[in-house]
Structure 1
Amino acid sequence: MTTLWRKSSYSGSGNASDCVELASLDGSVGIRDSKNPQITHITVGREGLARLLDQIKDGSLDPH
C-alpha cells in the first residue's frame, strides 16, 4: 500500500512554497519536508502532534 502524503491547502503551490507534508501511519503521523520528499520522515504520535499544533496556534512557541 502506498502512503498518501498531504500538504496543507494553505501552503500554496509552486517552488516558492515552504511547507511540510503529513501522512497517516499506523497509529501515528509521518512528517516530511515537501521540497525533499526523498529524505526520510519523522514519526510522531497523534496526541503529540495535536499538542504541537495547539502550541503553534496559541503562539506559545513564538520567541518573546
Structure 2
Amino acid sequence: MSRTDATHGRWRKSSYSGPGDGNECVEVATSPARVAVRDSKAPGQAKLTLSELAFAEFISALQEPAGPPA
C-alpha cells in the first residue's frame, strides 16, 4: 500500500518485501530533486533524504561486491 506524503510524494515499498519476510524493508519516495527513504516498520519516524545523485551513488555502492575485511 502506498501512502502520499506532501513533502516527498508517494511512498513505495521494495518489491523484495513480501509476506515471508515480515514485510521488513524500506520505503522510498521521490520528488523532482530528492529521494527520501524510511523504515517501513516505523513510517512516522525520521526519514533519510538524499539528492538524486547521492541516492544513485548509495545504490551503486550497495551493488558493488564486498572487498576484503579492513
Q: Shared fold by TM > 0.5?
A: yes
* Structure 1 partner of 2:40: 34
Q: How many angstroms does 1:15 deviate by?
A: 6.9
> Quick one: structure 1 residues 28 and 63, their matched pair in 2 at CA, closer, same or farther if it must change by over 3 Å?
farther
Please, which runs of 5 or more residues in structure 1 have no aligned partner? none
Distance in 1, matches of 2:28 and 2:22, equals 19
Q: TM-score, normalised by structure 1?
A: 0.78
From the CA coordinates, give the structure whose radius of gyration is larger.
2
Divergent runs of 4+, >6 A: none
* TM-score, normalisation: structure 2: 0.72
The runs of 5 or more residues in structure 2 that have no matched partner are none
CA-atom RMSD in angstroms: 2.3
Aligned to 2:10: 4
Q: Which moved more, 1:9-18 or 1:44-53?
A: 9-18
Query: Percent identity of the aligned residues?
Result: 35
**Number of paired residues?**
63
Q: In structure 2, what is the Cα distance between the partners aligned to 1:53 and 1:8?
A: 13
